[in-house]
Amino acid sequence: MKVVILDDAANVAKYGAGIFLDQLAKKPDSVFGLATGSTPLSLYRELIDSNHRGEVSFAGVKTFNLDEYMDLAPEHPQSYRHFMNREFFDHIDINPDNTRVPPGDAANPLVACREYEAAIRDAGGIDIQLLGIGRNGHIGFNEPTSCLSSRTRVKTLTRETIEDNARFFREGEFQPQLSITMGIGTIMEARLVVLLATGRSKAKAIRAMVEGPVSAWCPASALQMHPATVVIVDEDAASELTDPAFFKHIEAQNQALLARLQGQA
């Protein structure tokens, strides 16, 4: 697990976007796993700007989103499909048919989960999976006690997650208690995982993920076992790590090595 600590949220977004841009330069038909929420928004805006400047194209890209609320139609303003269209897909040159979000309004969600897994396999697997992290250590909607080998499935949301997301719903509006989410096992099959976290409210979860035992109580801790995970955090999100200076030293050495190797090319 590579941990990169940067000054602020803007630099977190730029660093994360750079990983996606580098991937597209190598493989224009990449398959991306995407996430919703406030944390990845700045990264998406960086990618949109690069697309508008003509530096990158998404014409050959396929995407699979992590999760979706159950019982919300795609056009519902709080659905994650609506979010992705509004914040990202509608602003780039991607083929809408190549963007997949779990169908929260599926007549048979259990069948829909199996079909989502099959679609990921048929696409050749995910090249880069983007993640945020919940205050309780969840990734996607894999809440504490989730099986660390789980596949795409229906998942009940914790009270903490429901309360965290309540700000997006009007008073009295229906707020889902269930979701469809990629499983932890599904996420672990991505070739590269990029996790972003900003703000002091995520500091305990980052510490548990990076330093704690691998445990279903912190689902993100499973990423300790992933061969290629990059955790990109700002100073606040890194504030409870035991030795953040060590991670900064490692990154400085990695950048120096990369510069040396590029100089030899």
Give the tens place of pLDDT for each residue, 116-168: 999 999 999 999 999 999 999 999 999 999 999 999 999 988 888 878 777 77
Fold for 2-264, please state it. Rossmann fold (3.40.50)
Residue written as token pair 């048979």: 108
Active site includes 165?
no
Active site includes 136?
yes
Active site includes 98?
no
Which candidate in 136, 142, 189, 234 is catalytic? 136
Residue 9 has pLDDT above 80, yes or no: yes
Contacts of 63 (CB under 8 A, 6+ apart): 31, 32, 33, 34, 89, 94, 98, 99, 100
Which candidate in 68, 143, 189, 234 is catalytic? 143
Mean pLDDT over the full length of the chain: 95
Average pLDDT over residues 240-257: 95
Domain spans, the chain? 2-264
Which candidate in 46, 51, 65, 67 is catalytic? 67
Rounded distance between C-alpha atoms, residue 81 and residue 84, angstroms: 5
Active site includes 65?
no
Give the 3-state secondary structure of residue 4.
strand
Long-range CB pairs of 119-123, under 8 A, 24+ apart, other chains included? 119/64, 120/31, 120/64, 120/186, 123/31, 123/62, 123/64
Which candidate in 46, 68, 117, 138 is catalytic? 138
